[in-house]
Amino acid sequence: MDKYRVPQKGTIKLSDYDPNDSSEFKGGKKEGKEALLKLNAELEKLQELLYAEGKHKLLIVLQAMDTGGKDGTIRHVFDGVNPQGVKVASFKVPTSVELSHDYLWRIHQHTPAKGEIVIFNRSHYEDVLVVRVHNLVSKDVWSKRYHHINEFERLLAEEGTTILKFFLHVDLKEQAERFLARVEDPEKHWKFNPGDLDERKRWDEYQKAYEDALNKTSTDWAPWYVVPANKKWYRNLVVGTVIVDTLKKLKMSFPADVPDLEVYHKRLLEMTLNEE
């Protein structure tokens, strides 16, 4: 998956990434879904180990254009994982209370504790994306935030948080088809917002804003991955593979057994026999 990782201080162009790419998996959609089930099983075991050990923290950041598939990625990649150790934080328009603090204040309180996986469905990056595109603050303000974000993420990493950031990359045609699917399916009407079509007119501005964010904030301690997302099954495989590989590298282990476990085992066997 290293081909999708944005190099530190990179100069990538999103136009160089094919949203339809599926080159790292030679099978098709059916085989891809089967492979994802195996990844789900691996992730379930690794998440249980992470939770039991209680030493490491994992923060996953998902960003995308509208219809990019953030919700679907969470649903499919984390299918079957114990929700006790996994949390999702979604960041909407800031409240009046949040606006009265610095822009990272509302973010920090949702970062993972030891043993947790936290998924950001949108994130602090909105403050260099939508804020920039809509001129909600001046360039002098938002341009400083790349440095703030890098140092904020460095703090988290130095305090034991592993950070993975994914930009789910779709193209204009795929976005239009997904909007159409929402309008044509009564069960998806709730997901359609007419305002999304206005945002679509700003596509090029958002692409530039994303390129700057990816290039300025992909670091060794908090790397970005540009994930081809036109094919949902491949998107899920890429994200799932990166997460599983990263968790394996943590070399986690279960806590030591309770002292005298054999004695307790014998007592429990006797109890079960007496209750028969």
Query: How far, in Å, CA of 70 to CA of 173, rounded?
Result: 18
End-to-end CA distance of the chain: 54
Q: What is the pLDDT of residue 231?
A: 97
pLDDT tens-digit readout, 172-194: 999 999 999 999 999 899 888 88
Encoded amino acid at 143, one letter: S
Whole-number Å distance between alpha carbons of 215 and 17: 14
Whether the predicted pLDDT of 100 surpasses 90: yes
| Residue 91 buriedness (CB in 10 A; 0-12 / 13-18 / 19+) | middle
pLDDT digits (tens, 9 = 90+) for 247-265: 999 989 998 777 777 787 7
Are 54 and 114 in contact by the 8 Å Cβ rule? The answer is yes
Higher pLDDT, 142 or 256: 142
pLDDT tens figures, 38-48: 999 999 999 99
The whole-number pLDDT of residue 211 equals 97
10 Å Cβ neighbour count for 105? Answer: 13
Name which of 206, 193, 230, 226 is nearest 62 in CA terms: 226
Report, as an integer, the average pLDDT of 268-274.
78
CATH number at residue 171: 3.40.50.300
Identify the domain containing residue 195 by its residue range. 2-274
Is 143's pLDDT higher than 80?
Answer: yes
**Residue 276 confidence (pLDDT):** 60
What does the alpha-carbon distance between residue 35 and residue 22 come to, in Å, rounded to a whole number? Answer: 14
Spatial distance between the Cα atoms of 33 and 40, rounded to a whole number of angstroms: 10
Helix (H) or strand (E) holding 77: helix 70-77
Burial of 200 (0-12, 13-18, 19+ CB in 10 A): middle
For residue 106, give the DSSP letter.
H
Taking alpha carbons only, the member of 162, 70, 151, 155 closest to residue 116 is 162
Share of the chain above pLDDT 70, in %: 99
pLDDT at 9 over 90: no
Task: Read off the pLDDT of residues 19-45 as tens digits, 9 standing for 90 and up.
Answer: 999 999 988 899 999 999 999 999 999
| pLDDT higher than 70, residue 131 | yes
With cut-offs at 50, 70 and 90, classify the pLDDT of residue 275.
low
- What is the tens place of the pLDDT at every residue in 49-68? 999 999 999 999 999 999 99
In DSSP terms, which residues pair with 222 in a beta bridge? Answer: none
**Full strand arrangement of the beta sheet holding 117-121:** 86-90, 117-121, 57-64, 161-169, 224-228
Q: What's the whole-model pTM score?
A: 0.93
Mean pLDDT of the chain: 93
Domain count, the chain: 1
DSSP 136: S
